Amino acid sequence: IGDGSENDSNEGGAAYYKVIALDPAGNEIASPAAGTVDVTFGGGTASAADYDNATQNVTIGQVFQVDATDDLISDDEETYTVNLGANSTIAGAITTAYEAVTNSTDNVETTIHDETSPGTPPGPGPHPDPTPNPGPEDTVFAVIDSNGPVTEGADSVFTVSLFDVNGNPVTVTSDMEVNVVFANGTAEDGDYTATAQTVTVAAGDSTTTVTVPTAQDADFDDETFTATIDGVGAGAAQFENVDTTTGVTVGGTPRTPSAEATINDDDVPPTVEIDDVTVNEDAGTMTFTVSLSNSTTQDVSFDFDTNNGSATAGADYTAIANGSGTITAGQTTTTITVNIADDYIAEGNETYTVDLSNLSGNTATSGHDLQ
């Protein structure tokens, strides 16, 4: 087969060979009688998945090729041998044109090079084209997904998965580490454990999980945070290239290296009420207390106006229009003060109202006493 020298092939490419006829002195016969012979493959460190190793019946004197598989496994410098088959596989006019025809026991060893870095493959030439950079077909894509919203105080769980460019799961042959970091969305420090984690995809698996504890707090909002793959560690070298920034489409759905988790609030938002006040008109003022049923971690705001009952604004009290008030986070009360007039008219008890409106969104949707 050829001159018995080493051949090189880039994965995804091909190696080329030719069976030649030699005379007893070892010189190539320029135009031998026609014939065919079987060529077999095996030996070396390459597996059947690394190249087309099916037996070929080839024409003597004509070039044939063997295709190398373009995969994503980092297995650089794998080898296989090309051998002539048994003498019985020689066929055609060549078998009768000469006194005897036998197959050489020499073989050709071929080296398959990964697409891991550009450059010229080692070994004696001639060489194929310089090894190209790895492409999508040589890449394992690491992505992460949230397993769904959780109630505050429960664990939020993410799944890290490995896929090829076609969205097929990639199984690791040895443990591989994946680094995951976290960032606040609407969640704040303390709402969840934000410490970066390194998780391991175990040998034989294509996924692993990331568990993030969340905290029980007094906030009344649902909150979000994100988990993002931040590189890979030990074990990543088993692949030619691991992408932790791009993502890949799986079953028509884009999967990415970042996922958002939601922490659902389980607290009861407060109701708001304003108390009734009775004073003598010579008091000069009336002070109303606005109260929450329980405190919050954010300010509660509201608007208020005064409205006549039997009392008349301007004569009996000083009207307030478009007033605003705030109950500070962590507190449960605030006050509204209205000036009243001390007159000499005998008019009996008189009334007016202070009406609350436009409560902030961190209060209950019903159950308030706003007048």
CA distances from 32 to 88, 92, 101, 360 (A): 18, 11, 11, 96
Mean pLDDT by 10 residues, the chain (371 residues): 61 89 93 96 88 95 91 84 94 95 92 65 49 79 96 96 96 97 94 96 98 85 93 94 96 97 88 96 95 89 97 95 94 96 83 96 92 93
Distance of CA 79 to the CA centre of its chain: 35
The β-bridge partners of 37 are: 58
pTM: 0.65
Spatial distance between the Cα atoms of 371 and 369, rounded to a whole number of angstroms: 6
Please identify which residue in the block is written with the tokens 């969340």: 214
Position 5 scores a pLDDT of: 46
Angle at 136 between CA 132 and CA 142, to 5 degrees: 130
**Cβ proximity of 18 and 61 under 8 Å:** yes
Residues 6+ apart with CB under 8 A from 127: 8, 120, 121
Position 143 scores a pLDDT of: 98
Spatial distance between the Cα atoms of 35 and 236, rounded to a whole number of angstroms: 49
Position 130 scores a pLDDT of: 54
Q: Which of 342, 339, 371 is nearest to 355 (CA)?
A: 371
Q: What is the DSSP string of 141-175?
A: EEEEEE---EETTSEEEEEEEEE-TTS-B---SS-
Distance of CA 220 to the CA centre of its chain: 29
Spatial distance between the Cα atoms of 337 and 327, rounded to a whole number of angstroms: 15
Q: Which of 69, 96, 94, 93 is nearest to 80 (CA)?
A: 69
Position 76 scores a pLDDT of: 72
Position 33 scores a pLDDT of: 96
**Cβ proximity of 291 and 368 under 8 Å:** no
| CB neighbour class for 337 (10 Å; exposed up to 12, middle 13-18, buried from 19) | exposed
Tell whether omega for the bond before 126 is within 30 degrees of 0, i.e. cis.
yes
Position 69 scores a pLDDT of: 87
Position 131 scores a pLDDT of: 53
Position 4 scores a pLDDT of: 41
| CB neighbour class for 30 (10 Å; exposed up to 12, middle 13-18, buried from 19) | exposed
Spatial distance between the Cα atoms of 163 and 169, rounded to a whole number of angstroms: 4
Position 1 scores a pLDDT of: 67
